[in-house]
Structure 1
Amino acid sequence: MTSRIPRRPIPGRLLTAAGIALASLALTACESASSDTGEAAAATPEVLSHVHGLGVDPADGRVYVATHSGLYTVTKGEKPKLVGDRRDDFMGFTVTGEKTFVASGHGAPGGGQPGDLGLIETHDAGSTWTPRSLSGDADFHSLESVKGTVYGYEGGRIRVSDDLKGWDDRATLEALDLAVSPGGDTLLATTAEGVVTSTDGGRTFGEGSGQVQAFLSWPAERSLFGIGTSGTLSGSADGGKTWKRLTSLPGGQPQALTAVNADHVLAATATGVYESRDGGRSFAQLAPLVS
């Protein structure tokens, strides 16, 4: 079975203030994967906790929240709704097209799925899922898709697939999240040294930028978003070389970040799922989270 990041010892170089914060975020996310909360989730299906991914279906604009206990849709003023009947722990999640998503993580206890889901795909907006590759052998904690190519972070390495079946293993590094430029020519990763950049598809990375981000999202060439370990959202117009502070989200410690475009930004912190329609300058809560 493929080793998972939370089971690895944290290297000494990560034991800085920024590194401890990133490690805490990673461990918080992964501790949920080892706890059996299947029965609790079944009893309270309208409660969100442990968010690992966010996305918007371009078919209808519906917001999806990938959590430790299933995939949900959220609408402001309404209770979250579980999609389908699977309560898997969706550790990695991204929207790839209309009603089409890819995900990874862990099968729910008693659900008949493998402990490591590998890469799974849906063409009906999460109602049903089909295994595509690495079933039982991989647990992607970050997934990005650009121009038909899927980039994943799994087991401490960058893995890339053009067909959802075969995978090319590239650089190894200690990271928390990935982002790919809209043109597909630049790959970013969040590390304790800052955002690191690859211009060869994740085979090699340069030095960190210095400003530490926990999660990234890159919807347009000059609109890159990053959220720091304390919930401060920043924007970059030069691919992460420099950052401009936009706002601080309620709830502090972030759990996920997705920008649909330069104006529409989704973020999850310890207290809720939030949405911005003005480029990340202000946010409204879509749904609360419970710890």
Structure 2
Amino acid sequence: MNKRHAAVTATALALALTLAACSSDDDDTPSSADPAAAISHIHGLGLAGERLYVATHQGVYTPTAKGEPELVGDSKDDFMGFTVAADSTFYASGHPSEGGNKGLIKSTDAGKTWTSLSLNGQSDFHALDFAHGTIFGLDATNGLLRTSTDGRSWKDGATLQALDIAVSPEDPGTVLATTAEGIARSTDGGKTFTQGKEPVMAFLSWPAKDALYGIDTSGGLNRSSDGGATWKPVSTVPGGQPQALTALDAEHVLAATQDGVYESKDGGRTFTKQLAVESSSGY
């Protein structure tokens, strides 16, 4: 086995293990009320207005003026899939603190309160994306890519074992997914996917036609200007193993790693820590 093949195999194995770890989280029940411990396991990032929102294993948090985590609302449930659809409109999924699956939930007041929309007790979306007026969800409970235009009725797509998804900002039919084999591609809105192909990425975010970002399992940030056909390395996000990635536009990137939430406003070339978290491995 040559060095390159060995490295690719090791990376694919790492992602496969994180996929398994992500699924095994389903029965975890948060127990600590300490904010630092609560944000040791991050599942999603978003920006509404100028405020950062961090979806974690024990609620959604935002930094205070002093850079300390503050719980948004009063929910300390496990927020898995999380996406900001508009300034005050969030979609999420995960597990109630007492266990089970939340299905799809929605907030119209920037995370202060949440309403159950559908699939309560049935589904856990580990990744959510909102694009072209459609919710794209990776249902980890049932191993499906699902889509919905209203959050209540769903169309089932391909059977898929993946960690993250990203939808083309130009074409609602193009959906990418990160698998243990590499990036899988759909050209029919998630009904079918190709086999995953290298490179292997943990998370993707696609804010502009010529700005698709991917972060690998070691925190290496990469950018594609041609929809994932080719990639160029940009930098390494500080803090080790990544936990979440969200790009707001072609230059503005948020990434969570084992020790913090980082922000870049120069296309990922440099990062500034916005929120420190307790070191944690896993997704």
Compute the TM-score of the two structures, normalised by the length of structure 1.
0.88
Percentage identity across paired residues of the two chains: 54
Alignment correspondent of 1:195: 183
1:175 matches 2:162: yes
Q: Secondary structure at the match of 2:105?
A: strand
1:11 maps to which residue? none
Q: How does 1:1-291 map to 2 (within 5 A)?
A: 16-38=9-31, 40=32, 42=33, 44-47=34-37, 48-57=39-48, 60-74=49-63, 77-109=66-98, 115-154=100-139, 155-183=142-170, 184-290=172-278, 291=280
1:75–1:286 Cα contact (<8 Å) kept: no
**Per-residue displacement from partner, 1:142-189 (whole Å, max 9, x unpaired)?**
000102100011121101111101111111122110000112231000
> Residues of 2 paired with 1:91 and 1:257: CA distance?
13
CA contact (8 A) 2:27 2:100 kept: no
CA distance in 2, matches of 1:191, 1:94: 20
* Mean Cα deviation higher: 184-193 or 131-140: 184-193
| CA-CA distance at 1:30 after TM superposition | 4.4
Matched residue SS, 1:274: strand
CA contact 1:156–1:174 (8 Å) conserved in 2: yes
1:132/1:174 CA distance change after superposition, 3 Å: same
Cα displacement string for residues 111-157 of structure 1 (whole angstroms, at most 9, x for unaligned residues): xxx62000000000000000000011110000001021000111211
Whichever residue aligns with residue 86 of structure 2, its letter is: G
In structure 2, runs of 5+ residues without a counterpart are 1-7
| RMSD after superposition | 1.7
Assess if the C-alpha contact under 8 Å between 1:33 and 1:68 holds in 2: no
How many angstroms apart in 1 are the aligned matches of 2:35 and 2:221? 30
Q: Tell me which moved more, 44-53 or 182-191.
A: 44-53
Give how far 1:76 is off.
7.3
Q: 8 Å contact 1:53–1:92 — kept in the other structure?
A: yes
What secondary structure does 2:92 align onto? strand
Deviation (angstroms), 1:287: 1.1
Task: For 2:87 and 2:238, locate their aligned partners in 1 and report how far apart those are by CA, in whole Å.
Answer: 31
Q: CA deviation at 1:79?
A: 0.3
Does the Cα contact within 8 Å between 1:222 and 1:238 map onto a contact in 2?
yes
Per-residue deviation, 1:16: 4.3
> Cα distance 1:27–1:228, how it changes in 2: closer, same or farther (>3 A)?
same
Q: How far apart are 1:203 and its partner, in Å?
A: 1.0
In structure 2, how many angstroms separate the alpha carbons of the residues matched to 1:255 and 1:129?
Answer: 23
Q: Which TM-score applies when normalising by structure 2?
A: 0.90
Residue 75 (structure 1) shift: 5.5
Structure 1 residues 101 and 243, CA gap change in structure 2 (3 angstroms): same
Contact kept, 8 Å, 2:221 with 2:236, in 1: the verdict is yes
**CA–CA distance in structure 1, aligned partners of residues 180 and 78 of structure 2:** 26
